[in-house]
């Protein structure tokens, strides 16, 4: 005879079924047969060979606490209903003791069955039926007549007469499709020829489950045992030819880019699974044809040059020019956005050309090198800037603006002074004085 | 030919036939042409008031980068994708200061022959493609232009080497930086660089020169205020 155990996470708050997934993975280590009643509450059948029930519950609680750091209460009883109520207090009901265990419970516990609403419970209470035991003692026919079939069903559950079998969770289906080459693919054409039916097979597999995906990971296993893989964003509404083309671009990039020998197997793994119904909502999204075309072109360019070379700029935290701006891989993970106002940042406009890093010298009229004192004043009025041996007169300037950053940390501490100059040849530059050396931080262009 | 009284009358009154007038009428713009919106200050510089298929931008002039970002401000704000291929060391926040929506600006890092590869992949897809002309041979230039015309991509040549056949050629005639002062004899320089004024000259393929003053980063002083600081031009 099978008994039922219920594990209940009293602190679970998230409504999201996906967030509960890690807990289920942890429970899988203890028992593979699980029914999710709701996020935060699961039931599992206990078979004879599972051994001592108390031991099993201990193991289950330890596993959940250890792997996902959540407190967990367990209840064991013959039926699911009794086990659910037992889990509230973490008890194990002896075999055959369900009815006795349930009898003293308040009538409100009947709602746990999901068959009876609050109003019926209140009515019962007003009729003087305050506990489950009293409710069970009522004649079944009378309950059915007065409250309907669902209340009768609840009565049967409360008296431990009726149990329902558990609906066991299906394991995540294996959706990866793979093709092994009879003869390793040496050329792009051969590989692309194999990739097309593979793409069709992937979408067919997904379609059979009413799913579609927003990411595809292409993995190529080479003859020498290397594996190269790359994840692509995919428009969920795209047809299989689109996916095949994407795979072709990727294989083209690998095979023509060098560093990849003949391909022995190609694997496609879907990611970001989405119901077809939800994906259909994308139809009313704001993506117009031009955007879709542009994104396809960017993906293609990423395929040729490597996705890391297609970048989007974002403003990030920092004061200095390179810190303030980060280049994200387009379609990849987004970097952290700017969070604070960062006082001391140079106001717009910033220099248009940076990173050239030329050495410079700032000189006074008589050729004396100019430095910046600790109090933020120049030692002389800057009159000339020497760049690569050429001395250019300064016609206008501003600054210096000193920066002392992270002085509390020896490794990250930084001191520099910034100076804006306009040169006689029409150019304007931002100069930094750091470690007693002037450098061009950027050109205004 | 027209003879007799009507001809004499026409000659006397200076009338001409419609057929004779035809060559003098300017060809109206074709509806099929792909014109992208630009900011109002630049629109006077471009034929059809927007970004047409082939535009060149003289790269060697000071202020050319600011002009490029200002040129891309309109299209990116309109929500179309712009791609800049193979222009290293450009600081993207300057683009934002000039009005570019960075979410629509793809920066593609490439050098040498890969620039042409990337451009080939992007043309026809993105709305605006900016490429340095030195990376393309004559044959490649023609092919890319043809594909851009066919695919509806506006091509902006970052002209490090002359490119023939542009609808508009833009060139910064002069860049003035605003906000810095002479600060003669001082140990601390007042002011800061807060704006720039570009004198831009445009030459259209259909003929005609156009000039405009552009303030890519804003901060233009109103016409009725005279700048008394320094007196520098």
pLDDT value at A231 more than 90: no
* Residue B26 lies inside a defined structural domain of this protein: no
Mean pLDDT of the B176-192 span: 88
How far is Cα A24 from Cα A26, in angstroms, rounded to an integer?
A: 5
* Residue A328 lies inside a defined structural domain of this protein: no
Place of tokens 């890092």: B109
On whether both A86 and A152 belong to a single domain, the answer is yes
On whether both A189 and A132 belong to a single domain, the answer is no
* Residue B223 lies inside a defined structural domain of this protein: no
Summarised one tens digit per residue, pLDDT across range A67-91 is 878 888 888 888 888 888 888 888 8
Left (φ > 0), alpha (ψ -120 to 50) or beta: where does B125 sit?
alpha
Cβ burial of B39 (10 Å; 0-12, 13-18, 19+) is middle
Q: Give strand pairing partners of A211.
A: A275
Determine the pLDDT at residue A287. 60
Choose the closest CB to B177 out of A301, A442, A444.
A444
Question: What is the side-by-side strand order in the sheet with B54-58?
Answer: A325-329, A310-315, B105-108, B82-85, B128-132, B154-159, B54-58, B168-180, B191-204, B209-214
pLDDT value at A334 more than 80: no
Which uninterrupted H or E stretch holds A424? Answer: none
Q: For residue A321, which residues of chain B lie inside 8 Å, CB to CB?
A: 91, 93
Summarised one tens digit per residue, pLDDT across range A170-190 is 555 678 888 888 888 888 888
Q: For residue B216, which residues of chain A lie inside 8 Å, CB to CB?
A: 349
Q: Which two tokens stand for residue A245?
A: 């083309």
On whether both A57 and A149 belong to a single domain, the answer is yes
**A392/B contact by beta carbon, under 8 A:** no
- Report helix, strand or coil for A264: strand
The CATH number of whichever domain residue A294 belongs to comes to 3.30.1490.100
On whether both A150 and A291 belong to a single domain, the answer is no
For residue A377, what are the CA distances in angstroms to A240, A336, A371, A374? 66, 36, 9, 7
| C-alpha distance across the termini of chain A, in Å | 82
Choose the closest CB to A398 out of B191, B216, B217.
B191
Count of alpha carbons within 13 angstroms of residue A198, beta-carbon side: 28
Choose one of A304, A339, A369: the last residue of a domain. A304
* Residue B51 lies inside a defined structural domain of this protein: yes
On whether both A28 and A135 belong to a single domain, the answer is yes
Q: Which two tokens stand for residue A152?
A: 């009768």
Summarised one tens digit per residue, pLDDT across range B205-229 is 888 889 999 998 887 766 665 555 5
Determine the pLDDT at residue A332. 65
* C-beta atoms surrounding B194 within 10 Å: 16
* Residue A316 lies inside a defined structural domain of this protein: no
* Residue B63 lies inside a defined structural domain of this protein: yes
Mean pLDDT of the A92-102 span: 85
* C-beta atoms surrounding A193 within 10 Å: 13
Mean pLDDT of the B8-28 span: 59
On whether both A255 and A286 belong to a single domain, the answer is yes
* Residue B54 lies inside a defined structural domain of this protein: yes
On whether both A124 and A52 belong to a single domain, the answer is yes
How far is Cα A87 from Cα A75, in angstroms, rounded to an integer?
A: 4
On whether both A136 and A10 belong to a single domain, the answer is yes
Band (B24; pLDDT cuts 50, 70, 90) = very low
Q: For residue B126, which residues of chain A lie inside 8 Å, CB to CB?
A: 294, 297-298
pLDDT value at A128 more than 80: yes
Provide the residue range defining the domain that includes B113. 36-178+190-214
pLDDT value at A282 more than 60: no
* Residue A260 lies inside a defined structural domain of this protein: yes
What domain count does chain B have? 1
Q: Give strand pairing partners of B170.
A: B57, B202
pLDDT value at A10 more than 60: yes
* Residue A336 lies inside a defined structural domain of this protein: no
Choose one of A110, A127, A158: the last residue of a domain. A158
Determine the pLDDT at residue A166. 66
The CATH number of whichever domain residue B120 belongs to comes to 3.40.50.300
- Best probe of the B interface among A248, A348, A355, A402, by most B CBs < 10 A, is A348
**A168/B contact by beta carbon, under 8 A:** no
On whether both A110 and A12 belong to a single domain, the answer is yes
On whether both A128 and A35 belong to a single domain, the answer is yes
Average pLDDT, chain B: 83
Surface of A (410-429) touching B: CB under 8 A: 419-422, 426-428
On whether both A9 and A154 belong to a single domain, the answer is yes
Q: Which two tokens stand for residue B83?
A: 């791609």
Q: Examine the predicted complex and report whether its ipTM is higher than 0.90.
A: no
Provide the residue range defining the domain that includes A61. 3-158
- Report helix, strand or coil for A179: strand
How far does A43 lie from chain B, in Å, by closest CA?
47
Higher pLDDT, B190 or A115: B190
Summarised one tens digit per residue, pLDDT across range B56-110 is 999 888 999 999 999 999 889 888 899 999 998 999 999 999 999 998 899 999 8
What domain count does chain A have? 3
How far is Cα B211 from Cα B227, in angstroms, rounded to an integer?
A: 22
Determine the pLDDT at residue A111. 81
- Report helix, strand or coil for B182: coil
Q: Which two tokens stand for residue A229?
A: 């893989």
On whether both A41 and A138 belong to a single domain, the answer is yes
Proportion of chain A above pLDDT 90, given as a percent: 8
**A377/B contact by beta carbon, under 8 A:** yes
* C-beta atoms surrounding A147 within 10 Å: 17
Place of tokens 């040169």: A423
Choose one of A304, A321, A344: the last residue of a domain. A304
Summarised one tens digit per residue, pLDDT across range A13-28 is 766 666 777 787 778 7
């Amino acid at each position: 005879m099978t008994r039922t155990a219920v594990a209940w996470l009293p602190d679970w708050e998230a409504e999201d079924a996906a967030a509960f997934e890690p807990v289920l993975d942890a429970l899988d280590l203890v028992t593979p047969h699980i029914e999710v009643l709701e996020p935060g509450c699961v039931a599992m059948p206990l078979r004879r060979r599972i051994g001592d029930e108390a031991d099993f519950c201990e193991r289950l609680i330890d596993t959940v606490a250890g792997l996902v750091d959540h407190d967990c209460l367990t209840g064991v009883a013959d039926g699911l209903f009794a086990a659910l109520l037992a889990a509230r207090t973490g008890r194990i009901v002896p075999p055959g003791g369900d009815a006795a265990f349930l009898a003293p419970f308040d009538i409100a516990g009947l709602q746990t069955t999901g068959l009876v609403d609050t109003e019926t419970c209140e009515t019962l209470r007003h009729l003087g039926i305050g506990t489950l035991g009293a409710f069970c003692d009522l004649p079944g026919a009378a309950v059915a007549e007065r409250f309907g079939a669902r209340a009768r069903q609840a009565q049967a559950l409360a008296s431990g007469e009726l149990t329902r079998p558990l609906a066991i969770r299906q394991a995540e289906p294996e959706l990866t499709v793979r093709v092994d080459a009879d003869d390793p693919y040496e050329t792009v054409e051969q590989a692309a020829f194999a990739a097309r039916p593979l793409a069709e097979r992937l979408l067919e597999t997904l379609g059979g489950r009413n799913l579609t995906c927003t990411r595809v990971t292409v993995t190529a296993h080479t003859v020498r045992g290397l594996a190269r893989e790359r994840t692509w964003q995919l428009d969920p509404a795209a047809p299989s030819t689109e996916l095949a083309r994407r795979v072709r671009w990727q294989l083209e990039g690998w095979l023509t880019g060098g560093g990849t020998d003949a391909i022995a197997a190609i694997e496609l793994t879907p990611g970001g699974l989405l119901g077809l119904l939800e994906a259909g909502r994308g139809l009313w999204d704001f993506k117009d044809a031009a955007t879709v075309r542009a994104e396809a072109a960017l993906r293609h360019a990423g395929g040729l040059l490597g996705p890391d070379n297609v970048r989007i700029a974002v403003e990030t935290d920092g004061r200095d020019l390179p810190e303030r701006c980060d280049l994200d891989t387009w379609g990849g993970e987004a970097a952290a956005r700017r969070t604070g106002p960062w006082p001391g940042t140079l106001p717009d406009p910033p220099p248009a050309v940076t990173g050239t890093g030329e050495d410079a010298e700032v000189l006074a009229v008589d050729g004396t090198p100019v430095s910046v004192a600790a109090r933020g004043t120049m030692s002389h009025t800057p009159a000339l800037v020497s760049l690569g041996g050429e001395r250019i007169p300064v016609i206008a300037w501003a600054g210096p603006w000193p920066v002392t950053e992270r002085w509390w940390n020896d490794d990250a501490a930084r001191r520099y002074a910034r100076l804006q100059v306009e040169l006689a040849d029409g150019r304007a530059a931002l100069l930094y004085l750091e470690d007693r050396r002037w450098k061009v931080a950027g050109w205004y262009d | 030919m027209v003879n007799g009284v009507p001809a004499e009358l026409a000659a006397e009154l200076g009338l001409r036939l419609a057929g004779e007038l035809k060559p003098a009428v300017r060809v109206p713009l074709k509806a099929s042409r792909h014109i992208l919106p630009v900011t109002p200050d630049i629109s006077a510089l471009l034929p059809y008031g927007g970004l047409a298929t082939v535009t060149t931008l003289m790269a060697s002039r000071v202020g050319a980068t600011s002009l490029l970002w200002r040129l891309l401000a309109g299209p990116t704000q309109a929500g179309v994708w712009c791609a800049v291929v193979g222009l290293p060391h450009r600081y993207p926040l300057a683009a934002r200061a000039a009005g570019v929506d960075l979410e629509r600006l793809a920066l593609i890092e490439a050098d040498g022959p890969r620039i042409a590869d990337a451009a080939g992949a992007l043309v026809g897809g993105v709305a605006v493609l900016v490429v340095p002309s030195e990376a393309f041979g004559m044959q490649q230039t023609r092919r890319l232009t043809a594909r851009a015309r066919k695919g509806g991509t506006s091509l902006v040549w970052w002209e490090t080497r002359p490119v023939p056949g542009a609808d508009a050629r833009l060139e910064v005639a002069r860049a003035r930086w605003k906000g810095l002062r002479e600060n003669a004899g001082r140990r601390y320089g007042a002011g800061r660089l807060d704006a720039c004024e570009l004198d831009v000259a445009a030459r259209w393929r259909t003929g005609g020169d156009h000039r405009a003053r552009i303030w890519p980063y804003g901060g233009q002083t109103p016409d009725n205020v005279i700048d008394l600081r320094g007196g520098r031009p």
